[in-house]
Amino acid sequence: MSARLNCSSARCVGRAIKTQTASPLSRAAPAAVTLSQTSISSTRHYAVASQALPTALGKLQLPQDYVSPTKPPTARRPETRKSQMIRAYTALLRSTPLMLLFQHNNLTAVEWAAVRRELRRALREVPAPIAGPDGSAPVDITESIHFQVLRTRMFDVAFKVVEFFDAEEAAKLSNGYTHDLSQTAYEAIQAADTTNPNTAYAQISPLLEGPVAALTFPTVSPAHLAAALKLAAQSGLQKLLLVGGRVEGKAFDYQGVRWVGGIEGGLDGLRSQLVYMLQSAGLGITTALEGHSKGLWLALESRRSQLDEEQNPKKEEGEAPSS
Amino acid sequence: MITRFITEVNTKFNPFSTAARSTRLFLSSLPANARNQGMKIDTKLLPRTSADPAMLQVKFKDGKEMNLDGAKLGIKGIIEEVDRHSRFLQKQADLNDG
């Protein structure tokens, strides 16, 4: 793809004028000079403050491989709705650890409004957390839980970008752009093995067929999830089918999602359960180990007392005649 | 698709299987007011590990039952089969009315 892109010419022109006024002597300099960059070895050209010679404005030219810093090259035209949709969905996928996928079968606008209203009401009744993770101030996520209809084809592409495009790896390439619409991202998802059943993409992509809506949570909050699931299980919402979910990058079916909703206290609750389990296991081990040694000690002790008893009467018998 | 003569739709599918696609699409092609007009729609989701094939059972007003295999027919095939009988019923209804 050629790197011929428009740049904001106003800035370049302004800079040219400034240098011209600063050094009036150099008006005698040759007129037709291109606004060339100093770094020739680098393949990427940004608009840095260059020591360009003052030029006549009419002959102002940019190098052929000039790349605007605010508008890097893309694999698809960035102005289109679809491109921006991919960017929005990649951002959504990266920032959402808990996402429920629903199939919505011909809901009317009134029904959508009702679903969203009831969802708001159900989520507002969830008690706010007492403390945030690591003892920080609690954050109420209720307002950040959204229920949105997905464009499945664009979501599919965005999912591939998130799963198969490693931006850090691409940054090591000489001329690799690392944004989601870049050529490297496009090539990465073209080359990826999307049928490998071990990838989260291959597991979730069958769900992304037909009309799909997503309920997105900014954190894994089982209390909020349970409230939403309780709403979804109501008989009035037969048109919404919970087909699956994506929790911490893994695919879950409706039973798995319900299980996540049943975890008390969220991730911290699980951690405390684990700590309790380990502690009680340690207690069990110590008592078990102690038990054996205690038994052995008891056996030896009883044997000793038995031997003592056997010896003592002899002594008594032996001592008795002497006294 | 003619949905006037359908009285009952029973489906059972595993959404994680690609074979369930056409069954899911059939559900989405039923009109928004289908339940209000007396159509019974029952959907059962299978767990992710289940390998059972998708089931789609359609019952009509004249009592005919259709068991359609979504994996073999595809969404177009399903609609064709359903419409074939619906057109027949439509023809009869028109004759009786007229």
- Please, are residues B19 and B54 in contact by the beta-carbon 8 Å criterion? yes
Residue A33 contacts residue A60 (beta carbons within 8 Å)? no
DSSP letter (8 states) at residue A73 = -
Contacts of A234 (CB under 8 A, 6+ apart): none
The verdict on B43 touching A (C-beta cutoff 8 Å) is yes
What pLDDT does residue A29 have? 42
Which one, of A243, A257, A260, lies nearest residue A152 by Cα? A243
Nearest CA in chain A to B48: A253
Give domain status of residue B1, yes or no.
no
- Beta-bridged to residue B41, according to DSSP, are B9
List the beta bridge partners of residue A217.
Answer: A98
pLDDT in tens, B67-77: 999 889 999 99
Q: Look at residue A34 in the predicted model and tell me its pLDDT.
A: 46
Write down the pTM of the prediction: 0.70
Range of the domain at B12: 6-97
- Are the beta carbons of A160 and A89 closer than 8 angstroms? no
B44–A contact, CB cutoff 8 A: no
Q: Do the beta carbons of residue B71 and residue B22 sit within 8 Å?
A: yes
Domain containing B32 — which CATH number?
Answer: 3.40.30.10
The shortest C-alpha distance from B76 to chain A (Å) reads: 14
Which residues on chain A are in Cβ contact (under 8 Å) with B35?
238-239
CB contact under 8 A, A107 and B25: no
Q: What is the pLDDT of residue A22?
A: 41
**pLDDT at residue number B7:** 94
Contact in structure between A63 and A36 (CB atoms under 8 Å):
yes
**What is the homologous superfamily of the domain A81-263 according to CATH?**
Ribosomal protein L10, N-terminal RNA-binding domain (3.30.70.1730)
Count of structural domains within chain B: 1
What pLDDT is attached to residue A290? 77
Q: Which residues of A touch B27 (CB under 8 A)?
A: 103, 105, 241
Q: What is the DSSP letter of A104?
A: E
Per-residue pLDDT of chain A (323 residues; tens, 9 = 90+): 444 444 444 444 444 444 444 444 444 444 444 444 444 444 566 655 555 555 556 678 888 878 888 888 888 888 999 999 999 999 999 999 999 999 999 999 999 999 999 999 999 888 877 666 666 677 788 888 999 999 999 999 999 999 998 888 888 877 678 888 988 889 889 999 888 888 899 999 999 989 999 999 998 888 888 888 888 877 667 889 999 999 988 899 888 888 888 876 666 667 777 777 777 777 777 777 777 777 888 888 888 888 888 887 655 554 444 44
The reply to whether B84 falls in a domain is: yes
Q: Residue B25: which pLDDT band, with cuts at 50, 70 and 90?
A: very high
Contact call for residues A179 and A137 (beta carbons, < 8 A): no
